Amino acid sequence: MKKIILALAVASVTAVSALSALAEESNPAIVHRQGIYKTMAGHMTAMKSILFLGFEAPADLAFHAQGILDGFGHMGNAYPPGSDKGETKAKPEIWTQPDKVKQRAMDAVGAAKALVAATAGTDKGATIAAFKSMGEKCKACHDDFRKE
Protein backbone atom coordinates (compact mmCIF):
# COMPACT_ATOMS: atom_id res chain seq x y z
CA MET A 1 0.00 0.00 0.00
CA LYS A 2 2.76 2.41 0.97
CA LYS A 3 4.50 1.69 -2.31
CA ILE A 4 1.35 2.43 -4.26
CA ILE A 5 0.86 5.73 -2.44
CA LEU A 6 4.47 6.65 -3.08
CA ALA A 7 4.16 5.75 -6.76
CA LEU A 8 1.00 7.85 -7.05
CA ALA A 9 2.70 10.77 -5.31
CA VAL A 10 5.70 10.59 -7.66
CA ALA A 11 3.43 10.30 -10.69
CA SER A 12 1.36 13.31 -9.70
CA VAL A 13 4.41 15.48 -8.96
CA THR A 14 5.78 14.55 -12.40
CA ALA A 15 2.47 15.36 -14.07
CA VAL A 16 2.16 18.69 -12.25
CA SER A 17 5.68 19.80 -13.21
CA ALA A 18 5.05 18.87 -16.86
CA LEU A 19 1.85 20.89 -16.76
CA SER A 20 3.44 23.90 -15.10
CA ALA A 21 6.21 23.92 -17.73
CA LEU A 22 3.46 24.12 -20.33
CA ALA A 23 1.51 26.70 -18.35
CA GLU A 24 4.40 29.17 -18.62
CA GLU A 25 3.63 29.40 -22.33
CA SER A 26 0.00 29.93 -23.24
CA ASN A 27 0.43 30.77 -26.92
CA PRO A 28 -0.15 27.52 -28.84
CA ALA A 29 1.70 28.76 -31.92
CA ILE A 30 4.83 29.32 -29.81
CA VAL A 31 4.52 25.90 -28.17
CA HIS A 32 4.23 24.38 -31.63
CA ARG A 33 7.12 26.37 -33.10
CA GLN A 34 9.45 25.50 -30.24
CA GLY A 35 8.46 21.84 -30.54
CA ILE A 36 9.49 21.82 -34.19
CA TYR A 37 12.83 23.49 -33.48
CA LYS A 38 13.49 21.01 -30.67
CA THR A 39 13.02 18.08 -33.04
CA MET A 40 15.55 19.66 -35.41
CA ALA A 41 18.03 20.38 -32.62
CA GLY A 42 17.60 16.77 -31.47
CA HIS A 43 18.55 15.51 -34.90
CA MET A 44 21.64 17.76 -34.89
CA THR A 45 22.62 16.42 -31.45
CA ALA A 46 22.16 12.80 -32.58
CA MET A 47 24.27 13.47 -35.69
CA LYS A 48 26.96 15.00 -33.49
CA SER A 49 27.11 11.80 -31.44
CA ILE A 50 27.77 9.80 -34.60
CA LEU A 51 30.10 12.22 -36.40
CA PHE A 52 32.22 13.40 -33.46
CA LEU A 53 31.62 11.33 -30.33
CA GLY A 54 32.11 7.83 -31.68
CA PHE A 55 28.54 6.55 -31.54
CA GLU A 56 28.46 3.89 -34.23
CA ALA A 57 25.28 4.29 -36.23
CA PRO A 58 26.30 5.63 -39.65
CA ALA A 59 23.08 4.35 -41.21
CA ASP A 60 21.10 6.70 -38.94
CA LEU A 61 22.72 9.83 -40.40
CA ALA A 62 20.36 9.90 -43.39
CA PHE A 63 17.32 9.69 -41.09
CA HIS A 64 18.52 12.63 -38.99
CA ALA A 65 19.40 14.74 -42.03
CA GLN A 66 15.96 14.10 -43.51
CA GLY A 67 14.37 15.03 -40.18
CA ILE A 68 16.13 18.40 -40.29
CA LEU A 69 15.04 19.02 -43.87
CA ASP A 70 11.46 18.02 -43.00
CA GLY A 71 11.54 20.43 -40.04
CA PHE A 72 12.15 23.32 -42.41
CA GLY A 73 9.01 22.27 -44.24
CA HIS A 74 7.10 23.31 -41.13
CA MET A 75 8.67 26.77 -40.81
CA GLY A 76 6.25 28.41 -43.22
CA ASN A 77 3.32 28.21 -40.81
CA ALA A 78 5.39 28.46 -37.62
CA TYR A 79 5.21 32.26 -37.35
CA PRO A 80 1.54 33.20 -37.71
CA PRO A 81 0.40 36.73 -36.73
CA GLY A 82 0.23 37.00 -32.94
CA SER A 83 2.94 34.41 -32.39
CA ASP A 84 5.31 37.20 -31.38
CA LYS A 85 3.35 37.51 -28.10
CA GLY A 86 4.45 35.20 -25.31
CA GLU A 87 7.51 33.40 -24.00
CA THR A 88 9.57 33.55 -27.16
CA LYS A 89 13.13 34.27 -28.19
CA ALA A 90 11.91 35.33 -31.62
CA LYS A 91 12.97 38.93 -32.36
CA PRO A 92 10.32 41.35 -33.70
CA GLU A 93 12.45 41.70 -36.86
CA ILE A 94 11.11 38.32 -37.98
CA TRP A 95 7.81 40.02 -38.75
CA THR A 96 9.25 43.31 -40.01
CA GLN A 97 12.00 41.90 -42.29
CA PRO A 98 10.31 39.02 -44.10
CA ASP A 99 12.63 39.16 -47.13
CA LYS A 100 15.70 38.75 -44.97
CA VAL A 101 14.05 35.92 -43.04
CA LYS A 102 13.21 34.23 -46.31
CA GLN A 103 16.81 34.50 -47.49
CA ARG A 104 18.12 32.98 -44.26
CA ALA A 105 15.52 30.22 -44.49
CA MET A 106 16.40 29.43 -48.11
CA ASP A 107 20.11 29.28 -47.18
CA ALA A 108 19.30 26.85 -44.38
CA VAL A 109 17.09 24.69 -46.58
CA GLY A 110 19.92 24.56 -49.14
CA ALA A 111 22.30 23.37 -46.43
CA ALA A 112 19.77 20.77 -45.23
CA LYS A 113 19.40 19.44 -48.79
CA ALA A 114 23.19 19.20 -49.09
CA LEU A 115 23.26 17.36 -45.75
CA VAL A 116 20.65 14.87 -46.99
CA ALA A 117 22.71 14.38 -50.17
CA ALA A 118 25.95 13.87 -48.21
CA THR A 119 24.37 11.27 -45.91
CA ALA A 120 23.21 9.27 -48.92
CA GLY A 121 26.88 8.40 -49.45
CA THR A 122 29.50 6.84 -47.18
CA ASP A 123 32.02 9.70 -47.14
CA LYS A 124 32.15 10.72 -43.49
CA GLY A 125 34.31 13.77 -44.27
CA ALA A 126 31.71 15.06 -46.72
CA THR A 127 28.96 14.57 -44.15
CA ILE A 128 31.01 16.38 -41.51
CA ALA A 129 31.52 19.32 -43.89
CA ALA A 130 27.81 19.44 -44.71
CA PHE A 131 26.94 19.20 -41.01
CA LYS A 132 29.20 22.13 -40.18
CA SER A 133 27.67 24.16 -42.98
CA MET A 134 24.21 23.33 -41.61
CA GLY A 135 25.25 24.59 -38.18
CA GLU A 136 26.55 27.82 -39.72
CA LYS A 137 23.22 28.47 -41.44
CA CYS A 138 21.35 27.79 -38.20
CA LYS A 139 23.64 30.25 -36.44
CA ALA A 140 23.35 32.95 -39.12
CA CYS A 141 19.58 33.06 -38.63
CA HIS A 142 19.86 32.90 -34.84
CA ASP A 143 22.32 35.81 -34.85
CA ASP A 144 19.87 38.00 -36.73
CA PHE A 145 16.52 36.81 -35.46
CA ARG A 146 16.82 35.03 -32.09
CA LYS A 147 17.28 36.73 -28.74
CA GLU A 148 19.88 35.11 -26.52
The window from 20-28, 57-65, 72-80, 133-141 that contacts ligand ASC (CB under 6 A) reads 133-141
Site string for ligand ASC, 31-50 (x = CB under 6 A): ----------x--x------
Q: Which is nearer to ligand ASC, 85 or 139 (CB)?
A: 139
Do residues 33 and 75 make contact, with C-beta atoms less than 8 angstroms apart?
no
Do residues 62 and 116 make contact, with C-beta atoms less than 8 angstroms apart?
yes
Distance CA 17, CA 120 (A): 41
The window from 60-68, 78-86, 117-125, 134-142 that contacts ligand ASC (CB under 6 A) reads 134-142
Compute φ and ψ for 143, nearest 5 degrees. Answer: -60, -40
Total number of residues that touch ligand ASC (CB under 6 A): 5
